Amino acid sequence: MPARKQSSGTVPPGPEHTRTGLSAETLRQAFLDNLFYIQGRFPEIATDDDRYQALSYTVRDRLLHRWVRTIQAYKERDPRTVCYLSAEYLPGPHLANNLLSLGIVDATREALRGLGLDLDAILDHEEEPGLGNGGLGRLAACFMDSLATLEIPAIGYGIRYEYGIFDQKIQDGWQVETSDTWLHYGNPWEVRRPGICYDVRIGGRTEHVTDEHGRLRVHWRHADLFRGVAYDTPVAGYGVETVNLLRLWRAEAAEDFDFTVFNQGDYVGAVMRKVRSETISKVLYPNDEADSGKRLRLLQQYFFVSCSLQDMLRIFATTGRPLAEFHAKFAAQLNDTHPTIAVAELMRLLVDEHGLDWDEAWQATRHTFAYTNHTLLPEALEKWPLPLFADVLPRHLEIVYEINRRFLDDMRLRYPDDPARIARLSIIDETPPKYVRMAHLASVGGHAINGVAALHTRLLGTTVLKDFHDIWPDKFQNKTNGVTPRRFLMLANPGLADLLTEALGDGWTRDLERLRGLEGLADDPAFQDRWRQAKLIRKAALAERLRAGQGNAIDPASLFDIQAKRIHEYKRQHLNLLHVVTLYNRLKHAPDADVPARTVLFGGKAAPGYAMAKLIIKLINAVAEVVNRDPDMRDRLKVVFVPDYNVKVAQSVYPAADLSEQISTAGMEASGTGNMKFSLNGALTIGTLDGANVEIREAVGPDNFFLFGLDADEAVRTRAAGYRPYALYERDPELRAAVDLIAGGHFAHGDAGLFRPLVDHLLGRDDYLLLADYRAYVDCQDRVADAWRDPARWTRMAILNVARMGRFSSDRAIAEYCRDIWNVAPARVDG
């Protein structure tokens, strides 16, 4: 093993190769060394966790070298740097991904085999950081992967939640939440940086005074003080030397907390207050669509944003450049409205703390930030009640008012006779008790606004942000989401990845468009055979996992029809169920009918306070219970709920799917990213014209996509025309039979009350238009079954899907952000 260059002076002294070497022999030695010196164990008495920790530290050592070199390169070159501000990250298990990035999967496997150990068993032990709810947090993690792989200087800023998204258990068919204790065994991937910490103040009041130069100054007499401490996790690019930084903040008590002044000798009381400081970063809010009005949530947002901006200012100070050029150094992306308080906080830091004048500060602020919107759901657009906002952030409210005053003055010049429009544009919603509209603050305080799929961006500009689109059409951009092929193909589906590499060479791993080379193989019988083999292996592996976990025997030869995502009415898991119940009814009436065997799998968590979503989980499990023990269904229909859906489970689910369910009401799903992961793994999609489905269908070709249902415009018109779901129920006998079976208690041991709320909603309001799309959906599923009967046809469609999914790499998405929004370029780190 050639030793690394020592010239930089960054490699510590000692037996250097044991901490950097990439050969199987060096890895084996390093592993044993760590097992002894970090875990205090030897192989004969080591536990699974000891082995996991020892291997993780082995890998971490190798990352640290690249990490240090990356920081040095950035310091020397002073490049413009992306700061991704996100309240959520869902990176998934680190160990396997880091082995992949370093190119040492095979060497590590060999090293462990030499010790009689199995790499996969060790990988399986990792507790993933569930620091996000779903698509938004996972997108942030895919973006961090692509930024590093494209060698873009970037820092991901967020919150180190002590408890991530809850673990889901299923008891008697119901979701039960238990707390996520991901830090229980310690976290080998993070480096705590006690020296990188910032004070964060809240509450109190402001004083406006004139200083000795006659300048107006604002003092914030805060009521409470916290401290944020940095925890850094390396993010390695694939096949490059770049290792970027994910910097998450943990809340602690401020050290200079004054016991005597505040607590008059109440020592224990003072310590209790310190402990309470830690609650800010204690737990992730488990709602995928907003949760406004919660004080702690606002505290979390402000806490991580303030730490991040103070950190950026500290880094900026090392460049020696004048503060008015802040925006030349940093491009900060607001991942949804969650970090949007950053607009007011940067203004406060620049004006109040660093003495810039307002116009200079505003110029820097506007050029620093850009805003990504992830939802059109009105209930998900964050707005903070004014009394709460004023209580927590009195100085920021003044700043928001000043931003708004200047903005509305401009708008009144532009629209002198349109007070209604001015009220609509205002950052303040005047309906009592009044609110701060965070999407408006983000739109005014940044230089770009983007949606996450073409349809979503169009709807954004014509509905929720229409007034802003009218004034600043050029600020709006589309950036269709993407997913990382490293985790979701190479790691999740090694068999298919090998087949692709054999056919195309390995260029596709960093340039996904190269998958197009598969088109010529779509009809090749030998290649098709190998394709089906690869799929079957993943299906058998998932079947085995489920059998081991829940005792569900499922047949890998059956059609795996999968819907895996958060449970939400707009995503319509219950439309899928109406189809399942329809198949059940058909088989009951014609037990000898020739239908292909199907296994319908569901996975996903419901927000703990979302009663209807939890009832949908119960219904899935209730239908499963009846269907799976009915002898008439034997081998033809099975229903399975996969518990505790997370990134790790997802990695075993996507590769096993034949059919991907993307059936949200058109106009509701901003993009979807699961749709991309399924298709990239050779599943065919049954879906509506919603979110990125529209673009996926265009890319793979309409013949290779099962489309059904109303489009977004038709959905709007259907509702406007006085939608009456009950009439549809009366008119369609199969629909009526399915609904009646659920309503009558067939899946509830005769209890006709259990699913009443769900049935009543469908027949009475049906906000998400299930009944309007039911017939089209069921007929489309019949076309799916027909296609499935012809394996050559199905496989051809699957191959063409994969061949044409190149556009949906997060590398493409990130390259577009870099070019159109961030104006940043790669800064190569040399090996």
Interface residue list for ligand Z16 (CB under 6 A): 133-136, 139, 288-289, 336, 374-375, 380, 452, 481, 669-673, 691
Active-site residue identified among 138, 395, 440, 571: 571
Dist. CA 64–CA 10, nearest whole Å: 10
Burial, 389: exposed, middle or buried (Cβ in 10 Å; 0-12, 13-18, 19+)? Answer: buried
Query: At closest approach, how far in Å is the CB of 155 from ligand Z16?
Result: 20
167 versus 690: smaller Cβ distance to ligand Z16: 690
Q: How far apart are CA 718 and CA 236, in angstroms?
A: 49
φ, ψ at 446 (rounded to 5°)? -130, 175
Catalytic pick among 4, 19, 374, 598: 374
Q: Which of 60, 437, 469, 677 is catalytic?
A: 677
Structure tokens at 194: 């006690």
In degrees and rounded to multiples of 5, residue 40 shows phi and psi of: 65, 45
Question: Smaller CB distance to ligand Z16: residue 135 or 725?
Answer: 135
Question: What is the number of the residue whose Cβ is closest to ligand Z16?
Answer: 135
Helix then strand count (H, E) for the chain reads 34, 22
- Which residue lies nearer to ligand Z16 by CB, 693 or 704? 693
Work out how close the CB of 456 gets to ligand Z16 at its nearest, in angstroms, rounded to a whole number: 8
Instruction: Specify the residue, 122 or 670, whose C-beta has the smaller distance to ligand Z16.
Output: 670
Closest distance of CB 688 from ligand Z16, Å: 13
Query: Residue 493: which residues within 8 A CB-CB, separation 6 or more?
Result: 534, 538, 654, 655, 681
Q: Is the peptide bond before 433 cis (omega within 30 degrees of 0)?
A: yes
Nearer to ligand Z16, 151 or 669 (CB): 669
Minimum distance of ligand Z16 from residue 669's CB (angstroms): 5
DSSP secondary structure letter of residue 645: -
Is 673 one of the catalytic residues?
yes
Work out the number of other CB atoms within 10 angstroms of the CB of residue 172. Answer: 9
If you write DSSP's letter for every residue of 334-391 in order, what string do you get? Answer: EESSTTTTHHHHHHHIIIIIT---HHHHHHHHHHHEEEE-----GGGS-EEEHHHHHH
Q: Choose the catalytic residue: 138, 565, 697, 804.
A: 565
Report the 10 Å Cβ neighbour count for 608.
15
Q: Across 357-503, where does the E strand assignment appear? A: 369-372, 383-385, 428-429, 435-437, 449-451, 476-478
User: Which has the closest alpha carbon to 449: 343, 303, 360, 304?
Assistant: 343
**Do strands 598-603 and 637-642 pair parallel, antiparallel, or not at all (unpaired)?**
parallel
Shorter beta-carbon distance to ligand Z16: residue 374 or 579? 374
Question: Minimum distance from CB of 130 to ligand Z16 (Å)?
Answer: 13
For residue 791, the minimal CB distance to ligand Z16 (Å) is: 32
Kind of pairing between the strands at 167-171 and 428-429: unpaired
Residue 131 or 380: which CB sits closer to ligand Z16?
Answer: 380
DSSP, collapsed to helix, strand or coil, labels residue 330 as: strand
**What's the min distance (Å) between Cβ of 504 and ligand Z16?**
28
Residue 828: is it exposed, middle or buried by C-beta count within 10 angstroms (0-12/13-18/19+)?
exposed
Strand order in the sheet with 449-451: 191-202, 224-236, 243-253, 154-159, 81-85, 330-335, 369-372, 449-451, 476-478
Report the amino acid identity of residue 817.
Y
Closest contact distance (angstroms) between CB of 97 and ligand Z16 is: 20
Our CB check for ligand Z16 shows the closer of 98 and 693 to be: 693
- Identify the CA nearest to 257 among candidates 314, 200, 195, 172: 200
Pick the closer one to ligand Z16 by CB: 277 or 480.
Answer: 480
The residues near 350 (Cβ < 8 Å, ≥ 6 apart) are 323, 326, 356, 360, 361, 364, 365
Please, what's the largest Cα pairwise distance for the chain?
93
Q: Name beta bridge partners: 641.
A: 602
Q: Cβ of residue 334: shortest distance to ligand Z16, in angstroms?
A: 13
Q: CB of 665: closest distance to ligand Z16 in angstroms?
A: 12
Does the annotation count 510 as an active-site position?
no
Nearer to ligand Z16, 135 or 156 (CB): 135
* Cβ atoms < 10 Å from Cβ of 611: 11
Pairing of strands 428-429, 435-437: antiparallel
**Residue 77: active-site member:** no
Q: How far is the CB of 138 from ligand Z16 (least distance, A)?
A: 8
Nearer to ligand Z16, 108 or 675 (CB): 675
Residue closest to 203 by CA, chosen among 298, 75, 135, 126: 298
Residue 279 annotated to the active site: no
Is 282 catalytic? The answer is: no
> If you ran DSSP here, which 8-state letter would residue 816 be given?
H
Residue-wise over 738-763: b if at least 16 C-beta within 10 A, else e? bbebbbebbbbeeeeebbeebbebbb
Give min distance, CB of 782 to ligand Z16, in A: 28
Cβ distance to ligand Z16 smaller for residue 281 or 552:
281
**Residue 809 one-letter amino acid:** S
Q: Report the interhelical angle of 770-788 vs 573-589 (nearest 10°).
A: 60
As a whole number of angstroms, the distance between CA 806 and CA 827 comes to: 24
CA atoms of 298 and 241, how far apart (whole Å): 38
**Among 62, 65, 456, 566, the one annotated catalytic:** 566
Among the listed residues 712, 611, 705, 699, the one whose alpha carbon sits nearest the alpha carbon of residue 667: 712
Q: Which of 673, 685, 688, 795 is catalytic?
A: 673
Least distance CB 438 / ligand Z16 (angstroms) = 12
566 is catalytic: yes
Pick between residue 373 and residue 582 the one whose CB is nearest to ligand Z16: 373
Nearest 5 degrees, angle CA 142-CA 144-CA 150?
100
**Location of structure tokens 């991309």:** 676
Could you list the active site residues?
A: 374, 565-566, 571, 673, 677
